[in-house]
Amino acid sequence: MSYKPKKKSVKKHKVPEWFHDAKFGIFIHWGLYSVPAFATRGIDIKENVRKHGFEGQFKDSCYGEWYLNSLRIDGSPTQKYHRETYGEDFSHDDFIPMFNEAIKNWKPEEMVELFKKVGARYVVLVTKHHDGFLLWPSEFPNPRKKGYMANRDIVGELTAAVRKVGLEMGFYYSGTLDWSFNPEPIKDVSSMTQNGVTDPEYVEYANNHWYELIDKYGPKILWNDIGYPSGTNLNDIFAYFYNKFPDGVINDRWLQIPKWVRWFLRQYIPRKILNWAAKRVFLKGKASMPVNYHCDYVTPEYGVFKGINKKKWEQTRGIGNSFGYNQFETEEDHLKFEELIHMFVDLVSKNGNLLLNVGPMADGTIPEIQERRLLELGKWLEVNGEAIFRTRPWIRAEGITTDGIEIRFTQKEGMLFVFLLDKPKNKQITIKSLKITENSKAEMLGYDEKLTLKQLEKDLSISIPANLEESPAYAIKIILDK
């Protein structure tokens, strides 16, 4: 169909099957912040927000990609590190030649080969983060900073490499935050609502970038972040994109804050209420707020849903605590393999995708800890991917065995997949409240042995293969008899 630049029209767009099927994407945060590669380590973002609020998170940030903002906050660990390492007179812009020199060694094909090997189905690249630095040679350069872009077409080269191996490509763009236009630091959620740039020059600049990215590189995903400046009819961008790429998808982070709301939120009491409410919402794992505009899917950051979410969603998170590379993070700052698998299985059972972030070093090298975790995930998917990819949620997401092993469910094409989130201690398990059709058959993925099924009134007993190898989760495929 042909879409018109109206909400009623773009809302008719349906999430394409490829995105439902995909389940696993790679997020890439890579830019000037990859040169200093510093953020406070040893801090879990949720614990930091719980103890110190967002004021603590912004000043003592564990996000390396927020380096410039943290640098502008007096007394921050980032400011102290920067002055001790680079000196008082070294500006953030002095990282530009260092970054451009480093990326000469980047090999996009090698990076993408890793993503393909570990089972990712799509890639989302940060084309411009909040510092405003561009990763492509735009025809619309920054009017405030000459030469404020990479000297290689990272967007174009990566897109070509991604498509060559059969993956889909998406672009992240920082819509309303651009610190090359606004030098004031963000210190809490209230100041973040004021930080977005709204002057006509910037609105035209951001709009031109989205249209340029769509026309020049043809993404399948538009992944905007932290809102979009008012003064733009978002439906113009959405309809333009859908008419070019009907099987494309658009995320949910396009909130436009009117000027009167920004004024209101500057006042003392509204500011306090907003900071309090934002903390509560974030700690409940709901980083995506309800929206009154069109989007194909929602993107809770480090968050999950308690049950199956009818709206398609995607959890975005880092393997470590930072999205951008933090050279000081250690093994303990990263997701453990078991945590990663349990999280992945859980969100897929609830209609989610996982957008797992990597933060390359300045030269494009994926840090060893992150690469190792990806390879572990890929090896697990080689055995269990049938129960993940192209599946849909079942009638419920969760279950449990009589001996306390947590269960997750997925389904596709007459098959029910049962994930065991722990290693069974006995030769059989009994899943509570699970009835299947008579004469159904079962097997555990990765094992040749046929399993015995026995219906015990409302529960289901399943035999378990002998000598199970260690794994964070096991997938049982039940072929339902029609």
Higher pLDDT, 367 or 47: 367
Band of the pLDDT at 45, cuts 50, 70, 90?
Answer: confident
Burial class (CB in 10 A: 0-12, 13-18, 19+), 62: buried
- Each residue of 431-476: pLDDT tens digit? 999 999 999 999 999 999 999 999 999 999 999 998 899 999 999 9
Measured CA to CA, the distance from residue 256 to residue 38 in angstroms comes to 31
Measured CA to CA, the distance from residue 297 to residue 358 in angstroms comes to 21
- Each residue of 144-156: pLDDT tens digit? 999 999 999 999 9
At a CB cut-off of 8 Å and minimum separation 6, what does 370 contact?
319, 320, 334, 358, 359
Query: Does the pLDDT at position 38 exceed 70?
Result: yes
One CATH from 3.30.460.80, 3.40.50.620, 3.40.50.1980, 2.60.40.1180 for 398-479:
2.60.40.1180
All structural domains of the chain with their residue ranges: 7-387, 398-479
Lowest-pLDDT range, 47-51, 352-356, 410-414? 47-51
Measured CA to CA, the distance from residue 466 to residue 459 in angstroms comes to 22
222 and 210 Cβ atoms separated by less than 8 Å: yes
Token reading at 460: 């289901």
- Each residue of 116-155: pLDDT tens digit? 999 999 999 999 999 999 999 999 999 999 999 999 999 9
Q: For residues 88-97, give the mean pLDDT.
A: 97
181 and 144 Cβ atoms separated by less than 8 Å: yes
Q: Quick count: other Cβ atoms within 10 Å of Cβ 129?
A: 27
What integer pLDDT is reported at residue 302 of this predicted model?
82
What integer pLDDT is reported at residue 263 of this predicted model?
87
- Continuous segment of H or E residues that includes residue 346: helix 337-349
Helices 108-117, 154-164: axis angle to 10 degrees equals 40
According to the CATH classification, is domain 7-387 in 2.60.120.620? Answer: no
Task: Tell me the residue type at 26.
Answer: I
Query: Does the pLDDT at position 46 exceed 90?
Result: no
* Direct distance between the N- and C-terminal alpha carbons of the chain, in angstroms, rounded to an integer: 37
What integer pLDDT is reported at residue 369 of this predicted model?
96
Q: What is the CA radius of gyration of the chain?
A: 23
What integer pLDDT is reported at residue 101 of this predicted model?
98
Query: Which string of DSSP letters, residue by residue, matches 145-214?
Result: STT-B-SS-HHHHHHHHHHHTT-EEEEEEE-S--TTT--PPP-SHHHHHHHS--SHHHHHHHHHHHHHHH
Measured CA to CA, the distance from residue 70 to residue 58 in angstroms comes to 7
Of 178, 275, 272, the C-alpha closest to 228 is 178
DSSP label of 88? T
Q: For residues 373-392, give the mean pLDDT.
A: 98
**C-alpha 52 chain-centroid distance:** 24
Q: Which residues pair with 173 in a beta bridge?
A: 128, 224
Measured CA to CA, the distance from residue 237 to residue 243 in angstroms comes to 10
Of 90, 51, 53, the C-alpha closest to 71 is 90
What integer pLDDT is reported at residue 286 of this predicted model?
57
- Each residue of 327-353: pLDDT tens digit? 999 999 999 999 999 999 999 999 999
199 and 147 Cβ atoms separated by less than 8 Å: no
Residue at token pair 């099957």: 17
Task: Tell me the residue type at 21.
Answer: D
Query: Does the pLDDT at position 289 exceed 70?
Result: no
Of 62, 11, 61, 65, the C-alpha closest to 34 is 65
Q: What is the SS3 assignment for 262?
A: helix
Query: Does the pLDDT at position 287 exceed 60?
Result: no
| Ramachandran sector of residue 283 (left: φ over 0; alpha: ψ -120 to 50; beta: rest) | alpha
- What is the share, in percent, of the chain residues with pLDDT greater than 70? 99
Token reading at 361: 């070093």
Name the average pLDDT for the chain: 95
- Each residue of 62-75: pLDDT tens digit? 899 999 999 999 99
Angle at 207 between CA 54 and CA 162, to 5 degrees: 80
Measured CA to CA, the distance from residue 417 to residue 394 in angstroms comes to 9
Q: Which residues pair with 249 in a beta bridge?
A: 221
Query: Does the pLDDT at position 240 exceed 80?
Result: yes
Band of the pLDDT at 174, cuts 50, 70, 90?
Answer: very high
Measured CA to CA, the distance from residue 246 to residue 16 in angstroms comes to 8
Phi/psi for 377 (5° steps) reads: -65, -45
Of 118, 120, 119, 138, the C-alpha closest to 128 is 138
Q: Which residues pair with 444 in a beta bridge?
A: 476
